[in-house]
Chains A and B, each alone.
Chain A
Amino acid sequence: MDLLNYAFMQRALLAAVLVGITAPAVGIYLVQRRQALMGDGIGHVAMTGVGLGFLLSWSPVWMATLVSVLGAVLMELIRWYGKARGDIALAMLFYGGMAGGVMFINLAPTGSNANLTSYLFGSLSTVSESDVTAICLLAAFVVLVTVGLRRQLFAVSQDEEFARVTGLPVRFLNLLTAVTAAVTVTVAMRVVGLLLVSALMVVPVAAAQALSRSFAATFAIAVAIGVSVTIGGTVTSYYQDVPPGATIVLLTIAAFIALTVLATPLARRRARALAAAQPVPDPAECAVPAGRKPTGEAGV
């Protein structure tokens, strides 16, 4: 493993592993609440942060964190108050964020579209010492939230109304999810890039579902897939000179296809075993008395 002799590769691999853990860990809650594309939206908003970082000569990673956290909070607020017009407001936020990024980076004395490209699609080999520090701190926060509050976040993402009746601070937990997703986007930005972040949040979770029946197993398998593809993609890009971000995402999709194809016969066998284990339905269920219409859905 001669690649471990290079400091830049050590940094790249560390960053890749942290992304492989954090992106699916947050993504599972987004998938559960059917907001799979939220990560994509935050990625767009984070571009303004990168642009501002160059313009003000601040760290683009920390600036992107700040702006995407603000953007994520704004998205949550739009979700609460926006109702029907909410998706239009979100669209404006996403594209405004993207346009702002391009504008700011071109106004910056040191910035150019080439700099932006490294944030859009990732640039593992240029991960600096200070980037690694930032990524480690942010990843620790993400793991603390997504593992430590898993029961609370699960309840809120599964059935928001029920969670409110248990007395959980649902708005706070929703905001926390959004902020954690925003932080994850900036963790992943240097590795897979802002435009591909969402894939690592969503696809490992989708792939894990082929093998699991429980939330806990889905979580564990998704993180395992995430770490495997980020390491695999980083190593491949070192030997083959291909872009790491794209390699990682394509590997993830390949994992999804492979697991789904492999698991389909398994799931079918499991369903058959389950059907065989079920008792014969009560005869009362089949004997339809006169006057009862065999309608499927009841009025709600």
Chain B
Amino acid sequence: MTTNTEPAISTPRTEPVISLRGVHAELGSRPVLRGIDLTVRRGEVVALLGANGSGKSTTVRSVIGQVPAGTGEIELFGTPQRRFRDWARVGYVPQRTTAAGGVPATLTEVVASGRLSRTRFGMFRKADREAVRRALDLVGMADRAKDSVDALSGGQHQRVLIARALAAEPELLILDEPMAGVDLASQEVLARILRQQVDRGTTVLLVLHELGPLEPLIDRAVVLRDGCVMHDGPPPKAVGQHALPGHDHVHPHAPAGAEPIRTGLLS
């Protein structure tokens, strides 16, 4: 054994789960990503930060193949994303939409659709029903399982969307703005849910407006501006008003050319 060899124990830690190299993407004809490099290794918790329009959401959406591919390479678990089929390993929590479906649905029914990445067109067995129940339990919503999702608050709705992603028991969680429009008490609950997952070894990539109650969980922060990576390293320390415990960093949609939204690092 030479001194250059890495200890065996760190090998799983360094295995890249998500790998983006020189990724460009356009929405319409507007370039949104202009050469993103990003690696997320097994067990890491990585936050994507940046102002509105900096390309955070587009970055995660390109990872899961929801943005028309531009140039560059995207790999999931070492497989080129175009050929990646093992979607049960990925739990995706989209940016919460206010528009629910046009028909009522219970929490169980919504969370069960997260299990489809495992069952596909097969039967829904007892083990699947138990996984759905467990996922609801993990987010503390098991007692509401038979209620309609329409009756939930913003924070509770977000917990259901996380449960839906957890139903397939994924190794990687991708969350797009999980804290947007969620009150402080629910933010603490969400942080606790994510901590549980991280403690089980789940890899997490999340888009955030600011670190907030998640700060102690985050291993690495990647700050985007105008579709480029500006910072990739330890999470920026919150300063000034951003450090206040009650600050939930709410921004109106800024018009183009307005003062960029401060992330704490760049302000």
Contacts and interface: CB of A to CB of B under 8 A. Distances in A.
Instruction: State the 8 A-B residue pairs at the shortest beta-carbon distance, nearest first.
Output: A289-B246, A167-B87, A299-B251, A155-B113, A166-B117, A213-B148, A282-B185, A165-B92
Nearest to B150: A213
Contact of B104 (A162, A214, A291): A214
B75 interface: no
A32 B146 contact: no
A291 B92 contact: no
B105 A158 contact: yes
B247 A218 contact: no
B151 interface: yes
B21 interface: no
B103 A162 contact: no
Interface residues on A, range: 35 or more
Q: Is the interface of B mostly helix, strand, loop or mixed?
A: loop
A167 B81 CA distance: 12
A300 B113 contact: no
Contact of A154 (B102, B109, B148, B180): B109
A36 interface: yes
Interface in B15-71: 52, 64-66
A298 B241 contact: no
A99 interface: no
Interface string B111-135: 0111011011100100000000000
A264 to B, nearest CB: 15
15 contacts: A151-B116, A151-B119, A159-B94, A159-B113, A162-B94, A166-B168, A167-B87, A215-B109, A281-B185, A284-B188, A289-B245, A293-B250, A295-B252, A298-B179, A298-B248
Interface of A: 28, 31-34, 36, 149, 151-152, 154-155, 157-159, 161-168, 205, 209, 212-216, 218, 271, 274, 281-282, 284-285, 287-293, 295-300
B101 interface: yes
Given A166-B113, A299-B180, A292 B105 contact: no
Interface in B224-264: 241, 244-248, 250-254, 261
B104 A299 contact: no
A53 to B, nearest CB: 34
B180 A298 contact: yes
A36 to B, nearest CB: 7
A298 B113 contact: no
Nearest to B183: A285
B113 A154 contact: yes
A300 B104 contact: no
B157 interface: no
